Amino acid sequence: MDKKKAVDDTEPGPAPSRPVDRFGFIKPEQGTSPDGISKSKSIHERERERDERRIKKWRKMIGVGGSDWKHYVRRNPHVVKRRIRKGIPDCLRGLVWQLISGSRDLLLLNPGVYETLVIYETSASELEIIRDISRTFPSHIFFQQRHGPGQRSLYNVLKAYSVYDRDVGYVQGMGFLAGLLLLYMSEEDAFWLLVALLKGAVHAPMEGLYQAGLPLVQQYLYQFEKLVLEQMPQLGQHFIEEMINPSMYASQWFITVFSYSFPFHLTVRVWDVFLYEGIKVVFQVGLALLRFCHDELVKLPFEKLLHAFRNFPEEATDPDVLLPIAFTFKVSSRLEELEKEYQNKLEGSNASTSTKRSYPLKLKTMSRIGSRALSNFTNRCQIVNTIVVNEMECLLIHVLLLPTPQVSCPSVISPTTPPPNSNPLAPQIPLVNRLGLSNRRRAVAVLGRADFPGMATAAKAFWNSPVGPRTTHFWGPVANWGFVLAGLVDMNKPPEMISGNMTAAMCVYSGLFMRFAWMVQPRNYLLLACHASNESVQLYQFSRWARAQGYLENIEPEGQQ
């Protein structure tokens, strides 16, 4: 009975058939050495005892539901920092994470937003999210069951964020961040904490880690390589000789904040400090890992180095050993200097032809090629747009003014021609100066009303809108127009063939969906028009059926009879 209760306390789902650790991860089946088991138990015992001693202090510090948190932080910031570095009690971790990240304020300021994003919006990344869900913490009981509560919650959070920030959308590493948060809080709380992290509610925004080209990852890797060379010159030089750059081993440290391949008891301790102190903690922990294994790493060749980065010794992942080493690295001011240096390098990358050692060479080369290609593409698009506008002008003039042979269209437009300002067709008005007054007025009136660049912009906005052709909110109403067409066809049939029950059901159905189309945000006018039309058709059909059944016959008053 006691054993069963112990399992239930650590598991948020049905009881597993295999033993789990205190965080809910299934223990590996293969046997481990007695020394490893004893060390693992000792780590967990120390953490449990520490949590029990600190829970009372933490409860007094945060108050009921976090009511005293801000006041205590203002009065005793050094005490808060020291206690967070020692570790937040596991039973209070979810609440404290929300308080120190600023996500609790976002949640209170945006009631109902998460529900709207999950229920009423669609994401272009839904298939990618579904594909990657099973890869997130596959050994944890909360996420193991296919389509179970854990995977559904993870899907909802990732989908909601991909809709909330369509510029970022969804990137594979985001699943580990959301999965970690869901182990300590509800879906809505996890979503707003993810928003607080990526949008920078307290610290610098991290959305650059997941944008196209991973710009923030490149910056962090550049800074980390420089810090390794400065803090551990021998190891940094060895990496250069073996052609090892940080992108080979540290990318996932930054993208997932050590939640991908490190022991969970280390991950949560890193996140405690990371949420309070910012991204510098990732640099400090990374440097501490290299410092702890320094003597072994400087002796290893290329192949063994890559293996060592994926298999750090157990002592190196003990938070009570690793974090004190990490806090000895003072990197805040140096990170700011390296950030400015990196930005200057990016700005002057096209002017400089050679550097001592490019960082990293392939990424910088692709960045240069991409920026040049984008610039050329933009210029060409402007040229093509101008040509198309002028050709359309000439076509309209020919259509309106035939058979006038004097009109001629320019076949080549200089790339240096500036784009028109107010009226895109203004440069072509002189072409009709020699035409008749009435024809000229017709041409100018038609061409003045035409705004082809504006039409393209409107088309693009419609294409990318939440109810555009890329979503089911567009194709669903399009398919429902079949009801309207079927009703129109049935008008030619005898009223005896009409089903009263079905027609009444269709009236109620369209009435409900008309209200839904009006209340949903953004309003779906296509769906509203579809069901308004269907409501009209079905009401007419219902009146034909009622008249055929005798319900609408005129009844003469008894006096007239």
Tens-of-pLDDT digits for all 561 residues of the chain? 444 444 444 444 444 467 888 888 887 765 545 555 555 566 667 767 767 777 988 998 998 888 889 999 999 999 999 999 988 988 899 999 999 999 999 999 999 999 999 998 889 999 999 999 989 999 999 998 888 999 999 999 999 999 999 999 999 889 999 999 999 999 999 999 999 999 988 898 999 999 988 999 999 999 999 999 999 999 999 999 999 999 999 999 999 999 998 999 999 999 999 999 999 999 999 999 999 999 999 999 998 999 999 999 999 999 999 999 999 999 999 999 999 999 998 888 755 544 444 445 444 444 444 455 445 544 544 544 444 444 444 444 444 444 434 433 433 333 344 444 444 333 333 333 333 444 444 444 444 444 444 555 667 667 766 777 877 778 888 888 888 888 888 888 888 888 888 888 888 988 988 888 888 767 788 888 988 998 998 898 888 888 888 887 654 444 444
- Cα 57 to Cα 75, 98, 185: the distances in Å are 15, 18, 22
Give yes or no: residues 265 and 124 share one domain: no
Q: Domain boundary residue among 314, 346, 378?
A: 346
Give yes or no: residues 260 and 327 share one domain: yes
In a domain, 414, yes or no: no
495 closest CA partner among 448, 552, 535: 552
Please answer whether residues 477 and 526 qualify as being in contact, where contact means their C-beta atoms are separated by less than 8 angstroms: yes
Give yes or no: residues 186 and 80 share one domain: yes
Tokens of 415: 């790339």
- Residues 6 or more apart in contact with residue 168 via CB below 8 angstroms: 161, 162, 198, 207, 210, 211
Q: Helix-strand-coil percent breakdown of the chain, rounded to 5?
A: 70, 0, 30
Exposure class string for 511-540: b at 16+ Cβ within 10 A, else e = bebbeebeebeeebebbbebbbbbbebbbe
Which residues face 140 on adjacent strands? Answer: 25
Report the amino acid identity of residue 293.
C
In a domain, 162, yes or no: yes
Answer positive or negative: Cα dihedral of 252, 254, 260, 263: positive
Give yes or no: residues 51 and 187 share one domain: yes
DSSP state of 26: B
d(CA 33, CA 42): 14
Give yes or no: residues 190 and 65 share one domain: yes
Please answer whether residues 526 and 487 qualify as being in contact, where contact means their C-beta atoms are separated by less than 8 angstroms: no
In a domain, 418, yes or no: no
Answer positive or negative: Cα dihedral of 535, 538, 540, 545: negative
In a domain, 64, yes or no: yes
- Residues 6 or more apart in contact with residue 92 via CB below 8 angstroms: 55, 58, 59, 62
Give yes or no: residues 279 and 169 share one domain: no
Give yes or no: residues 64 and 111 share one domain: yes
Q: Domain boundary residue among 290, 323, 346?
A: 346
Rounded to two decimals, the pTM is 0.59
Residues of the domain holding 534:
468-549
Taking the CB of residue 162, how many other CB atoms lie within 10 A of it?
Answer: 23
Please answer whether residues 168 and 207 qualify as being in contact, where contact means their C-beta atoms are separated by less than 8 angstroms: yes
Give yes or no: residues 47 and 196 share one domain: yes
The SS3 of residue 97 is helix
Give yes or no: residues 86 and 198 share one domain: yes
Please answer whether residues 561 and 511 qualify as being in contact, where contact means their C-beta atoms are separated by less than 8 angstroms: no
Q: Domain boundary residue among 312, 346, 380?
A: 346
Count up the domains in the chain and report the number: 3
